[in-house]
């Protein structure tokens, strides 16, 4: 069989980054559509929480059991598996007629994103040929946050202004996934398989020499993703209930701005040391949480919007700094499983606000539950700042 021509390093880098961004976009596409599915299938907020939890479960299981697998078999096999699962997930969304099909779609979507995360992050570092060591990590975090923010905006626009709101978006998305699937055949393998026999035991974690840095990165990324998850769940409710604006595209735009401001922060401060980014990002997260809560409680759009801008900058800096200092500390052969461990912490943080507020709203009420969760996250962010502030400068 003739070997396919291989793209150069620059083109391959672009393909992998685009693929990663596309899959994370798919992870948040359903957010504006839950109300439409709820009306069609007859479910409420409790079921929505379950559907979200299944997505996080799929991502975590993929990271835990297969996050380090690309260190053994190579990056491309994991990319192909992730894309195949994403296509299957898209078909479930496209033909969904009940809640179990939505649950299956979300689980497969989360599993695909989990498989792609560590493999893509490691491949970007291996494909890069420039001198700025922080650049691959910056692109990885930008692709992740950029995709997460783009999903609600695109789906909101489709749902608000185009026909077949729960079908057309997945037709377009599935076509794009199929395209990058084909392009991946032309990307060279950056970490060829060396082991004759695959060890299927979960391989997630960091070398002993980097565990201290991993701990500091993990405690920083948990409140970061909690802010992102909190904002994603609060924004549609704030716009529809408090502002009495029922426009799915506008709700998607607000979430998009938070994530894309994070990407801008990474581009602007990409030359800064990881520790510098973390120590500036965490105080911004705390300030943003206070502003978002104040805006939510008082119905003040200006305060809520200011919290959005500050939160985007804080999340972008902290996420980039945590991944950057971990990537520098681990050897090449442990890259994928170390990145998987970092994203396990991130995804855990993403699940905190939705699941916690959902569980506490019954006994405490929505306002009290939201206030309590935000207060706890602010304490976590402050603790993370202290931990990273006390770390020796040279370890990052």
CA dist., res. 79 & res. 24, Å (int): 13
Q: What pLDDT, on a 0 to 100 scale, did the predictor assign at position 395?
A: 46
Query: Tens digit of pLDDT for each residue in 243-292?
Result: 777 888 888 888 888 888 998 998 898 888 999 999 999 999 999 999 98
- pTM attached to this predicted model: 0.84
- Please name which of 334, 322, 332 lies closest in space to residue 68, comparing C-alpha atoms: 334
Q: What pLDDT, on a 0 to 100 scale, did the predictor assign at position 393?
A: 53
- At the fourth CATH level, the homologous superfamily of domain 9-187+207-395 is MFS general substrate transporter like domains (1.20.1250.20)
The answer to whether 39 and 172 have CB atoms below 8 angstroms apart is: no
CA dist., res. 136 & res. 257, Å (int): 23
State the pLDDT confidence band at 227, using cuts at 50, 70 and 90.
confident
- Please name which of 343, 16, 112, 3 lies closest in space to residue 206, comparing C-alpha atoms: 343
State the pLDDT confidence band at 20, using cuts at 50, 70 and 90.
very high
State the pLDDT confidence band at 396, using cuts at 50, 70 and 90.
very low
What are the Cα distances from residue 136, in Å, to 77, 120, 169? 21, 10, 30
State the pLDDT confidence band at 392, using cuts at 50, 70 and 90.
low
CA dist., res. 324 & res. 298, Å (int): 38
Query: Tens digit of pLDDT for each residue in 342-361?
Result: 888 988 888 887 788 778 87
């Amino acid at each position: 069989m003739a070997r396919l021509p291989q793209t150069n390093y620059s083109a391959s880098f672009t393909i992998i980054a685009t693929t990663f961004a596309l899959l994370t976009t798919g992870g948040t596409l359903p957010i504006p559509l839950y109300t439409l599915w709820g009306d069609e299938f007859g479910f409420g907020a409790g079921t929505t929480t379950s559907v979200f939890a299944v997505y996080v479960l799929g991502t975590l299981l993929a990271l835990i059991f297969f996050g380090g697998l690309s260190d053994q078999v190579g990056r491309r096999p994991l990319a192909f598996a992730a894309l195949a699962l994403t296509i299957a997930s898209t078909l479930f969304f496209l033909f969904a007629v009940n809640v179990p099909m939505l649950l299956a779609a979300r689980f497969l979507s989360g599993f695909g994103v989990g498989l792609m995360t560590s493999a893509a992050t490691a491949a970007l570092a291996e494909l890069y040929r420039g001198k700025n060591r922080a650049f691959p990590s910056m692109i990885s975090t930008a692709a992740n946050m950029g995709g997460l923010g783009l999903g609600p905006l695109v789906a909101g626009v489709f749902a608000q202004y185009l026909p077949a709101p729960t079908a057309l978006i997945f037709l377009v998305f599935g076509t794009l996934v199929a395209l990058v699937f084909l392009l991946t055949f032309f990307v060279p393998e950056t970490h060829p398989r060396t082991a004759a026999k695959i060890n299927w035991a979960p391989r997630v974690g960091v070398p002993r020499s980097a565990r201290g840095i991993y701990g500091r990165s993990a405690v920083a990324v948990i409140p970061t993703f909690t802010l992102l998850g909190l904002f994603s769940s609060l924004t549609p409710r704030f716009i529809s209930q408090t502002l009495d604006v029922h426009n799915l595209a506008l709700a998607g735009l607000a979430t998009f701005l938070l994530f894309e401001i994070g990407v801008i922060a990474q581009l602007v401060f990409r030359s800064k040391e990881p520790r510098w980014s973390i120590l500036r990002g965490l105080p911004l997260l705390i300030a943003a949480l206070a502003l978002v809560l104040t805006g939510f409680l008082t119905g003040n759009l200006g305060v809520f919007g200011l919290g959005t801008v500050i939160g985007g900058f804080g999340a972008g800096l902290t996420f980039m700094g945590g991944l950057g200092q971990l990537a520098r500390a681990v050897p090449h052969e442990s890259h994928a499983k170390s990145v998987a461990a970092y994203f396990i912490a991130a995804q855990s943080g993403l699940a905190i606000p939705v699941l916690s507020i959902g569980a506490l709203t019954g006994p405490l009420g929505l306002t009290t539950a939201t206030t309590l969760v935000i207060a706890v996250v602010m304490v976590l962010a402050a603790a993370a700042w202290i931990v990273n502030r006390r770390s020796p400068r040279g370890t990052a």
